Copies of this chain bind each other. A is one copy, B any other.
Amino acid sequence: MRFKHAVLFPVLLGLTLTAYAAKPAAKKPVAKASTQKASAAKPAAETTAAKPKSMQEILDATQPGDWRALDPANTLYLDLASGRVVMELAPGFAPAHVQNIRTLAKEGYWNGLSINRSQDNFVVQWGDAAEDDKQKKPLGSASAKLPAEFERASKGVKFDRLPDKDGWAPQAGFADGFPAARDPQSGKAWLAHCYGAIGAGRDVAPDSSNGTELYVVTGQSPRQLDRNITVVGRVVQGIELLSVLPRGTGPLGFYEKPEQRTQIKAIRLASEVPENDRVPLELLRTDTPAFTQLVEARRNRRDEWYKRPAGHIDLCNVPLPVRTPKK
């Protein structure tokens, strides 16, 4: 028995292609002897039938135009001692916040500040830990006041809709490559709080966020936050540097002692970083047949390991493939 390799298949698919695996070029692990045995025992009729493509095969068959490069002006690098987290901003949904975040990054606002909170199955959050307003780091030329950007008019938003049911919204899908939702009745669209979503922390007033205090979802998608707070982007690589941080033991997962916080070396726009220090990444476009095939391959998994394809996929379970382009 090869229990070391148990749960091989669900995991394999999870690893290779989620946006968070940080291994865009991960190799498909070789099928183990036990798998080969199972194949050999299959009736001939079954083995000669057209085999559904695996995720890896779908990706291998993509064309260069199926991928889009991250735009350096919309890419933020969070540099920690443990490595770099790469984030994509969403100016289409949070233009004022993104503009402020760009200014804050350009002026080095977060450099030397810290990650102050990690709450299990919820969020990691960074910003200025100073308790007293007078001790807070100055905002420089960034705005202290921004509008709430919880949703936008869906008109003009290219929406790649999922056919699957969503309990939280009338329609779920992808907009600008981000997990999103839409309500045809209200004519609004908004970004969804899936794993890796980045939002702008706020106080009680809807317009009390200024983009300095950012959180990343590191647990079960808290979709109840949708349209209650401004989503500014998502992590595309390196989320495992955040998700492993020790959980804070204070209320809301805040660290109780300053020394428990993780220092931020720098948060910079990719466009402000020398080219040879940038992380070249490409994302699979969500408006391609390849993406549709990939979603279907996950909705109904047809490898040997799965005995019952789910026939469904949730918005936040859809992998958003990331790769390092070949030179």
* Residues in chain A within 8 A of chain B (CB atoms): 1-12, 14-15, 18, 20-22, 26-27, 29, 32, 34-35, 38, 116, 119-123, 125, 127-131, 133, 136, 144, 150, 164-168, 194-195, 199, 201-206, 208-210, 212-213, 215, 219-229, 239-240, 243-247, 251-254, 298, 301, 304-308, 310, 312-314, 316-317
Contact = CB atoms under 8 A, between A and B. Distances in A.
A222 B10 contact: yes
A264 to B, nearest CB: 15
13 contacts: A3-B202, A3-B203, A3-B212, A4-B127, A6-B209, A7-B123, A11-B122, A12-B251, A14-B122, A220-B221, A221-B317, A228-B307, A243-B247
Contacts of A1: 133, 136, 144, 203, 208, 210
6 smallest CB-CB distances across A and B, nearest first, come from A6-B201, A3-B213, A29-B251, A11-B252, A120-B240, A165-B167
Nearest to A226: B310
Contact of A129 (B4, B38, B204): B4
B223 A317 contact: yes
Nearest to A301: B224
A167 B168 contact: no
B305 A8 contact: no
A119 B14 contact: yes
Given A8-B252, A226-B310, A239 B119 contact: no
A299 to B, nearest CB: 8
A247 B244 contact: yes
A123 B13 CA distance: 13
Contacts of A3: 127-128, 201-203, 209-210, 212-213
Contact of A204 (B21, B34, B131, B201): B34
A34 to B, nearest CB: 5
Nearest to A145: B1
**Highest count of chain B CB atoms <10 Å: which of A6, A209, A247:** A6
B312 A7 contact: no
Contacts of A244: 244-247
Given A123-B11, A246-B244, A219 B219 contact: yes
B125 A7 contact: yes
B224 A317 contact: yes
Contact of A317 (B205, B212, B222, B243): B222
A31 to B, nearest CB: 9
Given A5-B252, A7-B202, A121-B243, 9 more contacts: A7-B201, A11-B119, A12-B251, A14-B252, A15-B251, A35-B204, A120-B243, A226-B310, A244-B245
A6 B126 CA distance: 11
A224 B310 contact: yes
